[in-house]
Structure 1
Amino acid sequence: MRVPPALNVHRHDTGSRALITLTGEIDLNSAPLVHASLARCLYDGIRAIDVDVTAVTFCGHNSLNAFLCALLHTAAAGGSLQLHHPSPALERLVALTGSGSLFVTLPDAHAGYRSPTQAFPLPQAAPWLAPALPALPGGVL
């Protein structure tokens, strides 16, 4: 019997901003962990959430649902949620669902990896000022 790879969640806070680094597969079983981790940020007063998905090896519709739910709750709380370094599969999923313009994003892993210490903290961004961009292959969401 195959044991699915675990999903690891690491959180690093700086003030009212958090970097969530996800490693492994986000599937039906692990999507609730993603949802709970992002919801916990809001509960703790975090209003700017950066999610590094560089090391996510599988990302199905359940993961997109968890990200979209977190995005809605974060926006309702006056915050922002950004997905960083999406894989081509995640870009494709976002493009197919038409949800790319909802996320404030940075270049994906193909544009060059930055370690969390280089990428964090990021400048504050007002989500309503960010251009609405569709998903682009090998580009940004």
Structure 2
Amino acid sequence: MSADLDQPLKIVVSSEGDTVVVSLTGELDPHTVPMLADELDDAIDGGATSVALDLSGLTFIDSSGLRVVIATHRRLEESGGRLVLRAPSDTVRRLLELTGLLGHIDIV
């Protein structure tokens, strides 16, 4: 079931030790990417060096969503940090594979 039109993306931020976990439910597209980008910027600006994106509830991602994932990965990597993608659906995993990101970003 997709997220409703008023809330196409739900973001929940939590911590697991020194890792900031950002859980996504719904769709990541040009309308919702700014919400995620703001959350990730806040986490990194707040000192996070380890970020996990929990994609288990993500039903859709397009190129704008991939761009924010890549930008976050690069930003963390440049500062000695790490981005991990958790539980991507088969569709999301396939998109990561097609774009060549599968070998560059850690997936668990």
Note whether the superposition's TM-score is higher than 0.5: yes
**SS of alignment partner, residue 74 of structure 1:** helix
Q: Could you say which residue in structure 2 is the equivalent of 1:3? A: 5
**SS of alignment partner, residue 69 of structure 1:** helix
Q: What are structure 1's unaligned runs of at least 5 residues?
A: 107-141
Q: CA RMSD in A?
A: 1.7
Q: Could you say which residue in structure 2 is the equivalent of 1:69? A: 71
Q: What CA deviation, in whole Å up to 9, does each residue of 1:9-46 have, x standing for no partner?
A: 11112453111111111011101211221121110101
* One-letter amino acid of the structure 1 residue matched with residue 22 of structure 2: I
Structure 1 vs Structure 2: percent identity of aligned residues? Answer: 24
Number of residue pairs matched? Answer: 105
Return the alpha-carbon distance in structure 2 between the equivalents of residues 60 and 23 of structure 1.
14
> What are the equivalent positions in structure 2 for 1:43-82 lying under 5 Å apart?
43-82=45-84
Q: Could you say which residue in structure 2 is the equivalent of 1:23? A: 25
Decide whether aligned partners of structure 1 residues 5 and 89 sit closer, same or farther in structure 2, where only a CA change above 3 A counts: farther
**SS of alignment partner, residue 45 of structure 1:** coil
1:89 has 2:91 as partner = yes
**SS of alignment partner, residue 77 of structure 2:** helix
In the alignment, is the contact (CA less than 8 A) between 1:59 and 1:89 conserved in 2? no
1:102 deviates by: 1.3
Q: What are structure 2's unaligned runs of at least 5 residues?
A: none
**SS of alignment partner, residue 101 of structure 1:** coil
Q: Could you say which residue in structure 2 is the equivalent of 1:125? A: none
Q: Could you say which residue in structure 2 is the equivalent of 1:99? A: 101
The structure with the largest strand share of the pair is 2
> What are the equivalent positions in structure 2 for 1:103-122 lying under 5 Å apart?
103-106=105-108
Large movers: runs of 4+ above 4 Å: none
The two structures have a TM-score, normalised by structure 1, of 0.69
1:96 deviates by: 1.2
Q: Could you say which residue in structure 2 is the equivalent of 1:34? A: 36
